Every structure is written in structure tokens, then in C-alpha cells.
Chains A and B, each alone.
Chain A
Amino acid sequence: MTFLGMPAGGGNLTGTPFPKAARGALGDAQLRRNLAKATTTIRTKRAGVVGELPDWAELRAAGAAIKDEVLANLDEHLVRFEEALTSRGTHVHWARDADEANRIITDLVKATGTREVIKVKSMATVEIGLNEALADAGVHAVETDLAELIVQLGNDKSSHILVPAIHRNRTEIRDVFRREMPGVDPDLTDDPRALAEAARRHLRQKFMTVDVAISGANFGVAETGALVVVESEGNGRMCLTLPRTLISVVGIEKLVPSWRDLEVFLQLLPRSSTGERMNPYTSVWTGPTEGQTSHVVLVDNGRTATLADPDGRAALRCIRCSACLNSCPVYERTGGHAYGSTYPGPIGAVLSPQLTGVDRNPTLPFASSLCGVCYDVCPVAIDIPSMLVHLRSRVTESKRTTPESTAMRALSWVMSDARRWGRLIRLGKFGRLASRHVPLPGWSAARDLPLPPKQTFRDWWETR
């Protein structure tokens, strides 16, 4: 069930229930060491560069409000964006869900006659399962972001929004490269420089020869039709620049109303994600550029279902910085795979269940201690803890009768009437006996059952 019966999203958004998946991850000491090291590094860097800006709080407030404006009038912004794009010659396509998006993109790729495409790192394409869909159509998608390449070569899955291979350390990465990268130096060391150089050599030929690229977009400017890709390695620039055909897959919530709004997000995003004052490269293009053919695929896939819930829609403000993952005590211990979705961590725990409907992701809203650090570090002030609590209640409501819900309903009936309640608590005396002799499996394994008093407060009050 999604909110107000809005159609749910499909694709790579569900997996093994969190508690079960987390149990496996928690037993992996190497994984926990890798994650602790990486998240500690990035948290320190982020705190440093965020602290440098005296107006961080004001930027954060503006960022949240700009995104709220996008969501409040999303239809108008989408129509404006489409007009700006088409007036310049970009072909705009709309996709209701993952399957439709994959069909559109696969057809566009097949029409070019190519059997290989190069890809800029894009969460949206991972979400919809594009690589798998292209493979089914006989097209090989080459990931060009270093971390995505590590994941792809290792037949692995992404575990982080920004650094999909965060769960791998340098030695594991070297082993993947030695095993899977064609023509790699068999004596490749695990020095990150050497590994980056190996990736450079491996991908150079692809950049120079492959004629179709697929990108996502960090932002789309409704006013001008400009698209923005924020990156570090230059693989994004290569993909956006050299191929003749560029297909950009954009979630409908990725818009900002006007060019000026980027002055906020180009400060919030790099400092929150890689902890840099600015990421090495940001590409902006407006319409087909330098003779390219340009397509934009606008994807819903459960975003309108998320938008329909007034207490959950703020999750669509997310700019995919990953600060909440890097700060989360749960994520740091379980890693991203345990969440079973393209979007792990605190934001994944609120976004994934809303995109799919809570019935298909009922454990994620509980994958949190509600400590609140995710809210503190979020550059667009998404109140993830409150949203988690809200989604927990939606999960409970969506479930049919359980012993717990029956008990709660009965209790509610008793507690709504003073006489009924008075009678019940007097029965508590018998509970003194029961609590010693009736085990509550599971519940009492880690807790002591409180011992009811001999006399209730009400009885005592009446005897005064």
C-alpha cells in the first residue's frame, strides 16, 4: 500500500529484511573496520569545512525552503523544465516507473546501434536497475566512476550513495582489479594512486571510442533547462563531452526553480558529501552541446507516492550527499548492504519504504536508534527521526491484526473508561505472581518485567 493509493516504485529498492541482513554484516569484522575507518575520515573532513562557513545555518534553511518550493509546485516546475529543454532541442521522455524508464532508455540506445555505453555515476540508474535491463537487451554498460567500477568488476553491490565501494579496503580493491580488469599489471600494488592509475588506463579507451553515454543529474534548473553533474574524477566530464549521444536520467524531484538557487546547493553539497570546499569538477550544460544529441528521461518511480504523504514528502528534498550515512551509528556498524535498497542509511530508511510502499519495506523504518545525528548533519534539514517514527506507525497500520495490535486495541478500550481501568489495574496484584512465573519469550530476554506494586495508586488515594 502506498500513500493515498499512489502507484509504487519498482527496481532495486528492496532486499532481505534489515534485522536478518544486519546480523550477517555485524559478524564481518573486516567490513566493520573498513566502514569505521572511512566514515571517521569523512566525518572529520565534513565537520571542518562546514565549520568554516559562518552562514551554514542560513544556507541550510534556504536549501530546505528551495526544495520545499520545488515540491509544493512540482507540476509547474516540471512543465517549465520540459519547455526549456525542448526549446533547445533536447528530447524529453517521461517514465511512470522503473520498467518504463528502462524501456525508454534501452530503445534509445538500441536505435543508435551501439552495443556498449559508458555511464556517469547515477543513483537513479541503479535504482531502476538500468544496467541489468541493458544487459538483457545485449548492451554492456561500463561504469566509469572508480567506486562504481570496483563494484561492477567485483560483481558486488553498492553500499553507499557517494562511495559505492566504501565496504572494500585497498587490498580488496587491488584483488578485484588483478582478477577482473583486462590487461592489468599483475604486480599492481594496493597504493590508492596505483589503483586510480589502473582505472585511468582501463577506461581511457572507452572514453575515446564509445558513442553513447548515460548520466544522471544532481540538479536540473527549471528556469533554463540547465543540467548539473557534480563529480571528482573527470569521468563525468569525459562521458558528458565525448560521446555523440547523451541520455540523462533525472528523478522528477531533482529540480531547482532558478539558476540562482545553485548558489545554495553548490555550497551545501560538496561540503556535506566529500567534505571538500568544492568538488574538483562540476559540469553545467543547457540543451544539446557541441553537436550532441541529448535526451532527458524524467522518472517518477514512487516519487509521487512519497510526495502524497505530508509527513514524509520532505525526504524528496534529499540531494544525495550521504552525510547522514557517514554519521549514522547504525550504518557505521551494518554497512549499506543490510538496507537492501539502492538508498541505504538513514535517508534510505525513510526514502525506500516511501518509494516502494511501506508494505514492501516494513523493516527499514525500524533500522535506527532515533539518535538524531542524521537530522543535524542533513544540509537540507530533513527531519529523518520524526519521519522514521511516522513511517513506523504507517507500517503498523498497514499490517493486519497481530497479537500486539489486538492487545493494544483491547488496552485502548479499557483505558478509555475510568471504571474499566480501575478494575484492570487492581488485577495487577495478581501480576506479581505472574511476572515471576510467566516468561515472555523474546521480550524478557533482554529486559526485566517490572514487578507490579501490592497496592495501586488509586487504592492508596482512596484510603487517605
Chain B
Amino acid sequence: MSARDEVLARVRRAKGPEGPVSVPREYRAAGTRGAGDLDLFAERLRDYRARVRVVDADQVATTIAAALLERGVRRVVAAPGTPAGWSNLPDQPDRVEVVRGAVTVDTLERTDAVVTACHVAIAETGTIVLDHDAADQGPRALTLVPDYHLVVVRAEQVVAGVPDAVAALAGVRTQTWISGPSATSDIELERVEGVHGPRTLEVVIARSTRFPTTSHPVGGSDQNHGIR
């Protein structure tokens, strides 16, 4: 008998005779708590020592430019599907290289910053979720290798709780849930921010509905989200 058949046969012998178990779902389910509270979201992010800037939607591009220049970046990668304005840095005496196409891991290793959008965000936990099949969020390495990640969250992408986000993510194949910069609690269970992932997470929260791209449903992006 193959290992597969033997393990399955053991399971059938071992499991009880009872049929399906009914699952009580009395907790706060998706769609029952309204929109996510932006102030709470910002507070939770700051708790993780992420940097947070809350701006009007039409200020996003200038806010990104200011943040990148403040940090003194030399090379920045923007996810290819992000609005062009997000990587338009005003003329500077020192040239800053902006990359928007496909990049190798070696290039990313020599990149100071990455700019992306997100798929959905959770106010209660200060979590931002990326869909790596969406062009404005990019493949996984993009937001992993550079030491600084700037992510733009549109106000309408912020949901109240985890169940709301899980509902918005049904069918999204490759996801990264990000709650603050990388951290460890492995030494005396004391939290230290900044290990292997980006050591700085900067979140630009874009208020209002005057966002300069077409309107999206909550959690939606510019792609079809059936399982691919």
C-alpha cells in the first residue's frame, strides 16, 4: 500500500463516527462593523513603530516625494502598476534613480526604497495586505528586500476587522499580511523592530474619495480576482 493510501486508511479507522461538526460563528463577522476607523488604524500602526502620514488623496504624490527625499534615497523601485505620479520626484541636485519595470533581486538588494499600493487594510490590527498578483503591489521580493517600504492605503480600503479583510481576500492567491516593520521577540520576549524584512514601514493613508484613479470596490484592485 502506498504511504498515501495507508495514511488515509489509518485516518478512516481512527476518526469518530460523527458526521460534520457545526461551527458556531457568533463572533463579529465580516460586514457587520461598518468601515474601518482611520484614526484607530493609524494608532495601531504607530504602536508597531510604523511611520504614518494621513493626507488628502490629491496630496499622495507630493507626500511620497517628500518622504523619499527626506530619507535621502538614491534608488527607489515603484511597483509597475502604481500611478506614475507616485514615482515622479521633483528635480533634485543629486540624481535619484527611479525604477518601475521588472527588477532582479540583486538590483533590489542595492535599492533603498520601494513604493506600492495595497489590497486591503485592517483598522483593528493595523494590518496591510498585499496581493502579489496585482501590478500595483508587485512580486513578493519587491517589498521584502529593500530596507524601506512605503505603502499607500486608500481610506476606502481600510476595513474594521480581520473577517472583513479575509472576505476581501477570497481568491487572492499570493498574499503578504504586514503589521508594522519586521520584528522579533526572541530575546527575552522583548520586541525589537527590524530584522530581515524592511526595517522601516512608512504608511501614507489617503483620505477622501477624490483619488486620481478610477474608483475601486473595497479591497479591490485593478485586476480580476478569481483564483488564478
Contacts and interface: CB of A to CB of B under 8 A. Distances in A.
Contacts of B172: 284
A438 B19 CA distance: 57
A286 B174 contact: yes
B218 interface: no
A260 B26 contact: no
A253 B136 CA distance: 36
Contacts of B25: 58, 62
Interface stretch (A130-138, A227-235, A443-451): A227-235
Contact of A208 (B44, B105, B186): B105
B178 A263 contact: no
Given A100-B3, A147-B186, A235-B195, A263 B166 contact: yes
B126 interface: yes
A165 B186 CA distance: 7
Interface string B151-185: 00000000001110111011011111111111111
Interface string B113-150: 00000000010111100001000000111001000000
A156 interface: no
Contact of A94 (B4, B144, B162): B4
B212 interface: no
A4 interface: yes
Nearest to A284: B175
B174 A280 contact: no
A408 interface: no
* Residues of A in contact with B, size category: 35 or more
A96 interface: yes
Given A165-B186, A241-B141, A283-B175, A55 B26 contact: yes
B113 to A, nearest CB: 16
Interface string B187-213: 111101011111000000000000000
Contacts of B13: 4, 6, 304, 308
Interface residues of B, number: 74
Interface string A43-79: 0000000000011001101100110110111110011
Chain A facing B: main interface SS: helix
Contacts of A283: 140, 175-177
A259 B21 contact: no
B187 A170 contact: yes
Given A6-B10, A58-B27, A69 B144 contact: no
Contacts of B140: 237, 240-241, 283, 289-290
Contact of A241 (B144, B185, B187): B144
Given A147-B186, A242-B105, A65 B144 contact: no
A262 B166 contact: yes
Interface string A424-441: 000000000000000000
Given A192-B188, A192-B192, A196-B194, 9 more contacts: A72-B18, A146-B186, A147-B186, A169-B188, A199-B195, A233-B184, A289-B140, A304-B7, A304-B11
